[in-house]
Structure 1
């Protein structure tokens, strides 16, 4: 049986085929396509119909390769949703989490229910684009007409099968789920004028969604597909595909966003996790992804775009290596870097406002990004050890960012941890592993991770003694001072 992972991120998507050959997982990219949000009348939207068409195009390629039957799993980014009316049609385009409508929503909503109470209920970090704040700012007339609120991967599954569900790993990111009761929190729903019945039933990863309705898409020649509810939040799938063994390891899912944390059996909700804005997202098999959201390579992608794509990532790394380290300390998790009109201008303005050296050359800009991301990773690992009360011995970096050897080594050096990079396609691999477990091909998550170790190249980075602890301490001091200035 062939298994197809549909893996859609903020900038691109792909269909990856997987099957076990000679006790190893073989994967092959079948189809790749672009993704991105666009602006219409001052609002940023995703082209969700484009994504559906590309999924169908990819599945038609599977059919053309001679496969009659397959299983399929869909995962995307979190927090964004589609509003579906009683006639089954979408009521508006899907608004992007990078839209500015929620810029001040956390503070406004905290006047209704305190942040402390929200965190105690949900265990979820405060980000301005969390679904709770998007729905709080949603058009009231549209909400009154809404029959179902479907997270993006569940909406795509609905369009393919006609079956509506709310898969828990993605649902937990909404900041609407009561972590103790494992269901929607009615007080939070009432505060945003949404009813529990407007969400489809909650399902765990590994359950069957339904079969692809080939008859709905006569313009495509498609295989017979069984759609499986995998861990539909891409980070949840990435952690499934992370080859961690035993205990005392952390992960860094590195891409547009950087998600750094640990896989735990129970949530951590205390004063320290609240103050440091750590989150308890739900994982497969009733685990928790205790992690911190860090802005990630979005910063560099935007710098590259502002440079009119004149420099490749490889060239940016080479330019950064020529620059002395730690010329400025920048808190890239500041909301101003979420979606500025010009990232280079925003970085330079931040440095000017905080009386730091202003990066001007390509190398200086790239170095500012790489060195500060590595420091932020090291600081987050230090915080994580304190909050969880466990010593982290090794860090697994997965995703597209795991290819960046310069940043990987910097992370090892600053964190003083052994770093393992790979696999690059951890998200699609985790998607495939859930399909294999659901189909009975492998019997456990542990067996799946061993399969990953056997199947893919993992590179090791030993920490070097180039930088001492004072670097991260200096970063925290400067950032704290700059927060007061700004």
Structure 2
């Protein structure tokens, strides 16, 4: 129902479907006023009205991307958590058949930008394994995983076989066995397989986004909870062959607040918002290491390309 070019309701589609667009509310952009808090909310919170309500980036990935601490325009982002959402910030949508077949979406962001991205299975794989293992000490597990042989076995992190909860370690082992790869037989080995596989999925998404959008980048920003996983951040830098800047972990909340602050005249444009995040939030930088050919070989082993 939305025209990706005009960023408004699609009058053509509505006409073809016989839908009266008068039934729909006007679309609001992040930063637009939405009204004021209701009296019952004022009473519950103890606030004195009127308190303005401001629209923000939605869904939360839009707020997270608004808080990416980019100092240059040519960046890719990966919002990490249960899912990884990897892509680019563009001025216009990519509406090609190749883009559709590659499973990229055009989603609106702050200032009518386009979040051109792919949804990737994220740390859900590790979360489910950790649950099966009885919640072991995560820093110790990641430290042990870092000592495992790299790229020994990789799986397709987007495989529908990994969507459901339960028996995740067994399903990962089964996937390795089915593809004639060494089967990891310890929590550390399975964890390394998961993180190598996620880094490979990040590599694929960042590379394909650049190609499909004809938009090269020179840095990858990782935001969200996955920024606390230093091994995943380093492996993503290695896989992409690009520097990774990790942080902030609470990017969605920060982007939400910054859009409201801008609406209130407390901060400047999008660049100023990002400069503020870069200046005030703890960030970690990871430079690519190792032989890029190893990642290409792992990709070929997994996809045949």
TM-score (norm. length: structure 1): 0.58
Whether 2:292 is the aligned partner of 1:468: answer yes
- Give the whole-Å Cα distance in 2 for the aligned partners of 1:353 and 1:193: 50
Structure 2 residue aligned with 1:324: 149
Alpha-carbon spacing, 1:188–1:385, altered in 2? closer, same or farther (3 Å): same
Contact in 2 for aligned 1:378/1:472 (Cα 8 Å): no
- Give the whole-Å Cα distance in 1 for the aligned partners of 2:159 and 2:12: 29
- Give the whole-Å Cα distance in 1 for the aligned partners of 2:197 and 2:281: 29
Whether 2:250 is the aligned partner of 1:387: answer no
- The 5-angstrom pairing of residues 77-116 of structure 1 reads none
Higher strand fraction (1 or 2) = 1
Determine helix, strand or coil for the equivalent of 2:221: strand
- Give the whole-Å Cα distance in 2 for the aligned partners of 1:235 and 1:292: 12
Whether 2:179 is the aligned partner of 1:354: answer yes
Which is further off, 379-388 or 233-242?
379-388
Whether 2:3 is the aligned partner of 1:178: answer yes
Shift of 1:188: 7.2
Q: Greater relative contact order: 1 or 2 (C-alpha under 8 angstroms, separation 6 or more)?
A: 2
- Give the whole-Å Cα distance in 2 for the aligned partners of 1:472 and 1:191: 47
Structure 1 residue aligned with 2:302: 478
Structure 1 residue aligned with 2:252: 427
Structure 1 gaps, min length 5: 1-175, 482-486
Q: Indicate which of 215, 218, 224 corresponds to 2:40.
A: 215
Shift of 1:401: 0.8
- The 5-angstrom pairing of residues 187-336 of structure 1 reads 200-215=25-40, 220-224=44-48, 225-309=51-135, 311-336=136-161
Higher helix fraction (1 or 2) = 2
Shift of 1:321: 1.8
- The 5-angstrom pairing of residues 404-419 of structure 1 reads 404-419=229-244
- Give the whole-Å Cα distance in 1 for the aligned partners of 2:77 and 2:107: 14
Shift of 1:388: 2.3
Contact in 2 for aligned 1:255/1:296 (Cα 8 Å): yes
Count of matched residue pairs: 303
- Give the whole-Å Cα distance in 2 for the aligned partners of 1:304 and 1:194: 48
Alpha-carbon spacing, 1:391–1:187, altered in 2? closer, same or farther (3 Å): closer
- Give the whole-Å Cα distance in 1 for the aligned partners of 2:141 and 2:41: 46
- Give the whole-Å Cα distance in 1 for the aligned partners of 2:153 and 2:22: 50
Contact in 2 for aligned 1:329/1:479 (Cα 8 Å): no
Alpha-carbon spacing, 1:198–1:401, altered in 2? closer, same or farther (3 Å): farther
Structure 2 residue aligned with 1:451: 276
Structure 2 residue aligned with 1:66: none
1:116-147 deviation line (CA, Å, top 9, x unaligned): xxxxxxxxxxxxxxxxxxxxxxxxxxxxxxxx
Alpha-carbon spacing, 1:439–1:178, altered in 2? closer, same or farther (3 Å): same
Structure 2 residue aligned with 1:337: 162
- Give the whole-Å Cα distance in 2 for the aligned partners of 1:365 and 1:477: 18
- Give the whole-Å Cα distance in 1 for the aligned partners of 2:16 and 2:179: 38
Determine helix, strand or coil for the equivalent of 1:469: helix
1:418-448 deviation line (CA, Å, top 9, x unaligned): 1111112111111111001111112311111
Alpha-carbon spacing, 1:211–1:390, altered in 2? closer, same or farther (3 Å): closer
Alpha-carbon spacing, 1:221–1:418, altered in 2? closer, same or farther (3 Å): closer
Contact in 2 for aligned 1:414/1:469 (Cα 8 Å): no
- Give the whole-Å Cα distance in 2 for the aligned partners of 1:335 and 1:196: 37
Q: CA RMSD in A?
A: 2.6
Shift of 1:201: 3.3
Shift of 1:193: 11
1:253-275 deviation line (CA, Å, top 9, x unaligned): 11111111111111112233223
TM-score (norm. length: structure 2): 0.89
Determine helix, strand or coil for the equivalent of 1:203: coil
Structure 2 gaps, min length 5: none
